[in-house]
């Protein structure tokens, strides 16, 4: 039986600070650009944070995720002078500012959404050890992050993404056949 259950999750202080900082940074950048771009610029960072704040932070900080595939270079070794060419002004500024207010580890430790997911999943699996849960996300980094976190608490998972170059049929079979 499929059952979608909406959840209301209260943000931890570090999550709220991160969300508000990202929103303000994007609004400030938008005010320096053409009129009417604020909503457009806010859409993707807010969707990514809503999916998973630790995953969004990690994706924005990960050098290998740069659109041009090049490494991030530091000018003079000072973190405030990080050159973020290729990321564009929004993510470049988010990278610079986020480092000053939080870390991946802090967001991970305070992850209110994962805390609730782990409670729901653990309860369901205690009631029915053969139960299977399907999670969807538009943000691939969230799926990677959840795969890691679920493994930490002893819940196995498979990640299936579009364009991943994986044998999707084998992953589906494994999901279907593995208890």
3-state secondary structure 33-87: CCCCCHHHHHHHHHHHHHHCHHHHHHHHHCHHHCCCCCCCEECCCCHHHEECCCC
Question: Average pLDDT by consecutive 10-residue portion of the chain (179 residues)?
Answer: 82 96 89 78 89 94 53 33 55 86 95 96 92 85 94 88 71 73
The predicted structure's pLDDT at residue 163: 66
Q: What is the chain's percent helix, strand, coil content, to nearest 5? A: 60, 0, 40
The predicted structure's pLDDT at residue 35: 75
The SS3 call for residue 147 is helix
The predicted structure's pLDDT at residue 105: 96
Cα–Cα distance, 110 to 87 (Å, whole number): 27
Cα–Cα distance, 94 to 110 (Å, whole number): 20
The predicted structure's pLDDT at residue 89: 77
The predicted structure's pLDDT at residue 43: 86
DSSP-assigned beta bridge partners for residue 83: 73
């Amino acid at each position: 039986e499929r059952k979608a259950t909406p959840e209301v999750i209260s943000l931890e202080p570090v999550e709220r600070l991160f969300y508000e900082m990202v929103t303000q940074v994007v609004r400030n950048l938008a005010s320096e650009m053409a009129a009417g771009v604020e909503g457009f610029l806010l859409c993707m960072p807010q969707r990514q944070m809503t999916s998973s704040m630790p995953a969004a932070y990690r994706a924005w900080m990960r050098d290998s995720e740069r659109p041009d595939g090049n490494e991030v270079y530091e000018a003079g070794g000072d973190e405030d002078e990080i050159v973020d060419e290729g990321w564009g002004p929004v993510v470049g500024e988010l990278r610079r500012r986020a480092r000053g207010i939080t870390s991946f580890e802090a967001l991970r430790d305070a992850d209110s959404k994962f805390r609730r997911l782990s409670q729901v999943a653990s309860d369901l699996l205690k009631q029915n050890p053969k139960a299977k849960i399907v999670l969807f996300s538009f943000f691939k980094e969230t799926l990677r992050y959840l795969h890691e976190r679920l493994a930490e608490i002893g819940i196995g998972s498979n990640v299936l993404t579009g364009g991943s170059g994986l044998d999707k049929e084998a992953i589906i079979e494994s999901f279907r056949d593995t208890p």
